[in-house]
Amino acid sequence: MSKRIVVLMAAMVMAVASLASAQTSKGEHAKATEAKSQKAPRLTILEPIKDYGVIPKGQKLDWSFVVKNTGDADLEIIAAKPSCGCTVADFDKVIKPGQTGKVNAHVDTTNFTGPISKTIELETNDPSVPSSQLTIAAVVKPYVEAYPAGFVRYMLLQGEAATQSVVLYSEEEAPFDIVKVATPADWIKVSYAKITDPAQLAPGVGRPGQNQYRVDITVGGADAKIGPLADKIYIMTNSQHQPVYSISVTGVVRPTFMVEPTGINFGEVAPTDPAATRTIVLHSNNLRTPELFNVSKVESSIPGVVTSVKPTTTRGEYEVTLQVGKDAKAGDIDGNVKIFTNDKIVPVVTVPVRGTVKAAVGSASK
pLDDT at 127: 94
Better-scored residue on pLDDT, 308 or 23: 308
Domain 144-254: which CATH class?
mainly beta
Residue 86, pLDDT score: 87
pLDDT of 25 higher than 70: no
Q: Please report the pLDDT score of residue 364 as a whole number.
A: 46
Assess whether pLDDT exceeds 80 at residue 64.
Answer: yes
CA distance 9 to 48: 68
Q: What is the pTM of this model?
A: 0.70
pLDDT tier, 103 (very low <50, low <70, confident <90, very high otherwise)? very high
How much is the average pLDDT of 331-335?
93
pLDDT of 268-314, one tens digit each? 999 989 999 999 999 999 999 999 999 999 999 899 999 999 999 99
Query: Which pLDDT does position 366 carry in this prediction?
Result: 43
For position 28, what pLDDT does the model report? 54
pLDDT of residue 219: 97
- pLDDT-derived band at 85 (thresholds 50, 70, 90) equals confident
**What is the model's pLDDT at position 111?**
86
Look at residue 125 and tell me whether its pLDDT is greater than 80.
yes
207-248 per-position pLDDT tens digit: 999 999 999 999 999 889 899 999 999 999 999 999 999 999
Give the 3-state secondary structure of the chain.
Answer: CCHHHHHHHHHHHHHHHHHHHHHHHHHHHHHHHHHHHCCCCCEEECCCEEEEEEEECCCEEEEEEEEEECCCCCEEEEEEEECCCEEEEEECCEECCCCEEEEEEEEEHHHCCEEEEEEEEEEECCCCCCEEEEEEEEEEECCEEEECCCEEEEEEECCCEEEEEEEEEECCCCCCCEEEEECCCCCEEEEEEECCCHHHCCCCCCCCCCCCEEEEEEEECCCCCCEEEEEEEEEEECCCCCCEEEEEEEEEEECCEEEECCCEEEEEECCCCHHHEEEEEEEECCCCCHHHCCEEEEEECCCCEEEEEEECCCCCEEEEEEEECCCCCCEEEEEEEEEEECCCCCCEEEEEEEEEECCCCCHHHC
Least confident range of 27-41, 104-118, 167-181: 27-41
pLDDT digits (tens, 9 = 90+) for 185-201: 999 999 999 999 999 99
More confident residue, 61 or 19: 61
Question: How far apart, in whole angstroms, are the C-alpha atoms of residue 181 and residue 175?
Answer: 18
pLDDT for 84:
87
Residue 259 clears pLDDT 60, i.e. is over it: yes
CATH number for the domain formed by residue range(s) 43-141: 2.60.40.10
pLDDT at 167 over 90: yes
Between 51 and 27, the more confident residue is 51
Q: Where are the domains of the chain?
A: 43-141, 144-254, 257-361
Same fold for the pair 43-141 and 144-254: yes
What architecture is the 257-361 domain classified under in CATH?
A: Sandwich (2.60)
Q: Residue 10: is its pLDDT beyond 80?
A: no
